[in-house]
Amino acid sequence: MNVLFRAQASRQVVVRAALMFVAVIGLAGCDQMMNDRYSLDMRYPPRSDPVFKEATISGEELQYPDRPGQLPILSLANAEDPENPLFKPAKAGMLLAPSKANAEARKNLNESLEKVFGTPARPKVAPDSELAGTLQAELQLDERTLRRGSRLYRIQCLHCHGLSGDGRGPTAFWVNPHPRDYRQGVFKFTSVTLQQSAQKPRREDLLRTLRQGIDGTSMPSFGTMTEDELQAIVSYVIHLSMRGEVEYQVLVELTQNPSLAKPETSVDEWIAGLARYWLDAQKPENEIIPEPYPFALHPETDAEKVAIRDAVRRGATFFADAQVGCVTCHTDYGRNAKFRYDVWGTLTKPADLTTGIYRGGRRPIDLYYRMHSGINGSGMAAFKDAAVKSGKVKSLWDIVKFVEILPYPAMRNEYGIHID
Amino acid sequence: MQKYWSVLFGAVITAAVGLFVVAPFMGWWLPRNVSSFGGDVDLLFYLILGITGFFFVLTEAILVYGIWKFSSDPTRKATYTHGNHKLEVLWTIVPAGILVMIGIVQVRTWENIKYQSRMPRPGANTQQIEVVARQWEWRIRYPSPKRMASWRSDPRLAQDFGAVPHQDDVHVPNELHVWRHQKGEEPQKVLVHLKTRDVLHSMKLVNLRLMQDAVPGKTIPVWFMVEEYNTSLHPETGRWVDGFDPKTGHWNQKDYVWELACAEFCGTRHTAMKGKLFVHKNRDDFLEWLKWAEAEDHRRTPAVPSTEP
Ligand SMILES: [Cu+2]
């Protein structure tokens, strides 16, 4: 006891306590001042996880669910390992490791990416062409907006979507489905009429995702942030996606041909190509414009109710069509659907339509978009032509109405739909 | 030398007490209370703060005095009170008595806020809202204006709101909209059906002095009544915006932004699990908003929401 209280020791204790106090206060202060800023010499890390040789491997049905903690099964380095239970000979060679590419070429790639896209603290989209001006103006990719977006992204999104938008932030492993990997350039929920390959989201689509979140997944709503902030984040997401997709496309070339010192199509050419897709998606003429909604929101008269009942029945017939209909994937209204791969190499499942939870939004217009163009990357087909051509429905609204009433037992009774 | 430790302790205590004294003037004190029962909660808070503060200062003063007085003489022998029944009974009975007293004093407030028998019944005049917590946001469901109107004509129809969602219900994530109770009116109470879709969460509305855990598998009723409002139609954006101070008519007032936070650690993004409480001036203003929200939530035409009133 006595020893402890010797002046010497007590002075040490005081000094230690004081240091600790200062450290705690200091760290707390730092956190306050620094937490929305990247350090200036931080770089986007070069992509090291495997890339797919072909963008689309989706469609295959599978019973084996992936779990949190096993981020994209196919991307695990050992997916090509025959010992792996998920190994299928057909998949061998599907994945390419970036490390196999020519080291010199990878270094070049990194440098040109940084020249065009900057760093996390100083993001930009500045390709070496007249395109830069158009992009910055029409997609709001100017440096001021991107810098603001980058800071907000760092606070709100990074822990899920990752520094480079790879969908592998610290939280990502623990949530299922895993957060979106922007680097494939594919987004699920769009309102664009273009071909799937060219189908980028409109800014409004990304804004809707941010405002509403993605119900049924861990992606929360950011609706209480201001309009300005959301716009800035959207710009930054587009920046990350463009950067990631350019890197991805060039890496596919480089890994397929490991001796290649220089990719055949340069970074600038890829940007020009992808920028066109992004710009096209924003054009008003490429937005999905549905036929006028044919039903009453709150049906009162008998005629209105009959109109809805007939539509729901037409929708149900199309749904159940064994050849082209929805049951081909949504077995038992989705209650018994099988897992399948999506283009990110993770697993997804045709939605259970009796729950009333829609990832892409529950508004009739959202469901219309889904019926019209499908859900990119997940394998959900587009029905814009098939449905009406089949002669079973008058417009996609019939199917929307049917989907809308499915989760509500009282309404199913009212319209004579029996699912059990 | 060692007696100067007492100076350090004394300084810390004085600083702590000083902090309490200046805090209210620096804006570090309790956030604005706007609920009908918040005053009672605050009263209890002050009572307990007073009691614990008094004993804190008393014991620390004795400690500081003791160090100052006795530590400089290393030869002095300590006196032990171990086994002194009188003393031990005293310091058991006094705190126990205080605890019992606090228990008795608080029971009416607790009863008022938490007893199910005191909750408003679903009916024509009760605002009903379903709040579903999930990692990491609040999913909130409102009855459609039509459903609310049906409760007015037949209050029995209001019974099933918490259990039976309707297709035309209105869903707005993270925004808890209610309307204000004006003194002298019949009570405008809010009944929240609180659920969680995944793990434990806790709904905390500091400005209402209200906190309730959400437990998986349970629907927990929570009630409150708000006596001030913070939300109005913004003349420029044409949206309903909070942060409005009705007394001055100013916008962007920090004091009038009321948070709905999660108060039970629920995963990595627990701290980001935040919504907002929007209190409308009256039922009519709320209904206007609800109609707008319904049109948004059941949108059938493409349009950029931000440009639409
Ligand atoms: Cu929580």
Q: What is the pLDDT of residues B273-285, one digit of tens each?
A: 999 999 999 999 9
Mean per-residue pLDDT of chain B:
91
How is chain A split into domains, by residue range? 51-286, 302-414
**First-to-final CA distance of chain B:** 73
Q: How far is A43 from chain B (nearest CA, A)?
A: 25
Task: Indicate yes or no: CB of A220 within 8 angstroms of CB of B273.
Answer: yes
Over residues B262-270, mean pLDDT? 91
| Percent residues over pLDDT 90 in chain B | 72
Task: Indicate yes or no: CB of B2 within 8 angstroms of CB of A5.
Answer: yes
DSSP states along B124-162 = TT-EEEEEEEETTEEEEEE--HHHHHHHHH-GGGGGGTT
pTM of the model: 0.87
pLDDT class of B307 with cuts at 50, 70, 90? very low
Q: For A408, which of B135, B167, B302 is closest by C-beta distance? A: B167
Q: What is the pLDDT of residue A13?
A: 60
Task: Indicate yes or no: CB of A410 within 8 angstroms of CB of B164.
Answer: yes
Is B242 strand, coil or helix? Answer: coil
**ipTM greater than 0.85:** no
Set of chain A residues whose Cβ sits within 8 Å of the Cβ of B269: 159, 171, 220
Q: What is the pLDDT of residue B199?
A: 93
Set of chain B residues whose Cβ sits within 8 Å of the Cβ of A410: 164, 166
Q: What is the pLDDT of residue A17?
A: 66
Best mutation target among A35, A217, A218 (most B Cβ atoms within 10 Å) is A218
Q: What is the pLDDT of residue B27?
A: 84
Over residues B233-237, mean pLDDT? 88
Mean pLDDT by 10 residues, chain A (420 residues): 47 65 56 65 86 53 48 47 51 67 86 91 87 88 94 93 91 85 91 79 94 92 91 96 92 80 76 90 90 87 91 92 86 85 78 93 93 88 83 90 93 88
Distance B262 CA to ligand 1 centre (A): 5
Task: Indicate yes or no: CB of B304 within 8 angstroms of CB of A204.
Answer: yes
Q: State whether residue B227 sits within 8 Å of chain A by CB.
A: no
Task: Indicate yes or no: CB of A171 within 8 angstroms of CB of B301.
Answer: no
Over residues B220-230, mean pLDDT? 95
Distance B129 CA to ligand 1 centre (A): 18
Q: How far is A235 from chain B (nearest CA, A)?
A: 17
Q: Is domain B120-297 given the CATH code 2.60.40.420 in the classification?
A: yes
Q: How far is B260 from chain A (nearest CA, A)?
A: 11
Q: What is the pLDDT of residue A23?
A: 63
Instruction: Write out chain A in H/E/C secondary structure.
Output: CCCCCCHHHHHHHHHHHHHHHHHHHHHHHHHHHHCCCCCCCCCCCCCCCCEECCCCCCCCEECCCCCCCCCCHHHCHHHHCCCCCCCCHHHCCCEECHHHCCHHHHHHHHHHHHHHHECCCCECCCCCCCHHHHHHHHCCCCHHHHHHHHHHHHHHCHHHHCCCCCCCCCCHHHCCCCCCCHHHCCCCCCCECCCHHHCCCCHHHHHHHHHHCCCCCCCCCCCCCCHHHHHHHHHHHHHHHHHHHHHHHHHHHHHHCCCCCCCCCCHHHHHHHHHHHHHHHHCHHHECCCCCCCCCCCCCCHHHHHHHHHHHHHHHHHHHCCCCCHHHCCHHHHCCCCEEECCCCCEECCCCCCCCCCCCCCCHHHHHHHHHHCECCCCECCCCCHHHHCCCCCCHHHHHHHHHHCCCHHHHHHCCCCCC
Q: State whether residue B296 sits within 8 Å of chain A by CB.
A: yes
Task: Indicate yes or no: CB of A290 within 8 angstroms of CB of B301.
Answer: yes
Best mutation target among B167, B257, B306 (most A Cβ atoms within 10 Å) is B167
